[in-house]
Chain A
Amino acid sequence: DAKTTQPTSMDCAEGRAANLPCNHSTISGNEYVYWYRQIHSQGPQYIIHGLKNNETNEMASLIITEDRKSSTLILPHATLRDTAVYYCIVRARDDKIIFGKGTRLHILP
């Protein structure tokens, strides 16, 4: 079973920041928070991951709460191409990835 809880769907206006929440209250000390997304009919695409510090790369930022029980993925300036299903996953580095239902993000023009 997936160890995370995400909203089923979210809308965001084009050009605005998209903030996708994820709850992972049972996360273990050696587990990372990973985010992937899947655009329709494509394989999942890695976005970002973190352990306890906030992380930023060219695609997104990841904010992890101090107790590590929840996190937020931030797409700073959403475009129509960011429309996808976003998966929040917690796993140890050498664990297999188990996907939950994810959040379907709709970017509105």
Chain B
Amino acid sequence: GAVVSQHPSWVICKSGTSVKIECRSLDFQATTMFWYRQFPKQSLMLMATSNEGSKATYEQGVEKDKFLINHASLTLSTLTVTSAHPEDSSFYICSAVNGRGRGAYEQYFGPGTRLTVT
């Protein structure tokens, strides 16, 4: 099946610094990628939709200047949390849509990245 990876799997950073999370589709080209955030004991919340070569579309209430998304190629999207604060500590999960061929339109999820801001 289609594989989506994330790097790093966990990261600890100091308050005020920025941290970048990578999402890669390993065996297919992803025309669209999504970023979700999940707080403890809560469901996944969609943050933004990322289309290759264009600006990301953010969900209501998500600060686009704080959560920078870049989808520079069909296999890579990055989420940068700028000026991180403890309240940004969360589990960040990406997903990728296979744009063509068998499995087209199916959404595959990465393993997640746990961010802790101290």
Instruction: Tell whether A and B belong to one assembly.
Output: yes
Main secondary structure of the interface of B (DSSP, over half): strand
Partner of B112, one of A43, A98, A99, A102: A43
Contacts A41-B114, A45-B109, A93-B105; A98 near B93 (Cβ below 8 A): no
A46–B98 alpha-carbon span in the complex (Å): 14
B75-118 interface bits toward A, Cβ cutoff 8 Å, 1 = contact, 0 = none: 00000000000000001010100000000011111111010000
* A50 interface residue per 8 A CB criterion: no
Partner of A44, one of B44, B46, B49, B106: B44
Chain B neighbourhood of A85, CB < 8 A: 43
A100–B46 alpha-carbon span in the complex (Å): 11
Chain B neighbourhood of A36, CB < 8 A: 109
Contact B46–A98 (Cβ < 8 Å): yes
Contacts A96-B34, A97-B95, A97-B107; A41 near B112 (Cβ below 8 A): yes
Contact A96–B46 (Cβ < 8 Å): yes
A74–B13 alpha-carbon span in the complex (Å): 42
Smallest CB gap from B10: residue in A: A41
Main secondary structure of the interface of A (DSSP, over half): loop
A96–B48 alpha-carbon span in the complex (Å): 10
A6–B46 alpha-carbon span in the complex (Å): 19
Contact B34–A97 (Cβ < 8 Å): yes
* A69 interface residue per 8 A CB criterion: no
Contact B93–A43 (Cβ < 8 Å): yes
Chain B neighbourhood of A102, CB < 8 A: 43
Contact A41–B109 (Cβ < 8 Å): no
Since A44-B95, A96-B46, A97-B46 are in contact, a sample of 5 more A-B pairs with Cβ atoms closer than 8 Å, ordered by chain A residue number, is: A42-B111, A43-B4, A96-B34, A99-B45, A100-B43
Q: Which B residues contact A (CB, under 8 angstroms)?
A: 4, 6, 34, 36, 43-46, 49, 91, 93, 95, 105-112, 114
